[in-house]
Amino acid sequence: MTGRLLLAVVTGLMALQGAGAAQQGASGACRSLEKSDAALNAAYSKALAKLGDDSAAVNKLTVAQRNWLKFRDAHVESVFPADDKRAEYGSAFQDCSCAIVLELTQTRLHQLEAWSVGIPEGDVCIGSRPVKN
């Protein structure tokens, strides 16, 4: 199941970058996104591992991650709604879409890291996340 999610993430990123991205080279935001996406996948895997045998929590986190991916893609579509994005938004589309996805990915990474890093002791909203050491 985790493998399918990782495949969906990679496929979504490739679609956002467009077919001509390889010829033009990646922008700074797109290069940063690749690194951030790898960190996101690692944080997601660590979060699942921390949840261990808590199948309810694992299932809910899996659903949340799938829905986050849908939200991320839908948000980019809402910012750039045209069907022919290159024609409508020009050559900056790739850079701009990468910047938006990067910002969303970094926020999600911070959220997922809470399962690895933990939440301060005494926080009544800890839920399934561990107490910070």
Amino acid in position 97 = S
**What is the sign, positive or negative, of the torsion defined by CA atoms of 24, 27, 31, 36?**
negative
* pTM of the predicted model as reported, rounded to 2 decimal places: 0.77
Which tokens hold the place of 89? 């938004």
Domains of the chain: 26-117 (1.20.1270.180)
Which tokens hold the place of 106? 């970094």
Query: What pLDDT digit, counting tens, does each position of 5-57 carry?
Result: 554 554 455 455 543 443 344 578 999 999 999 999 999 999 999 999 999 99
Q: Cβ(120)–Cβ(55) under 8 Å?
A: no
Query: What pLDDT digit, counting tens, does each position of 102-118 carry?
Result: 999 999 999 999 999 99
Q: Cβ(87)–Cβ(97) under 8 Å?
A: no
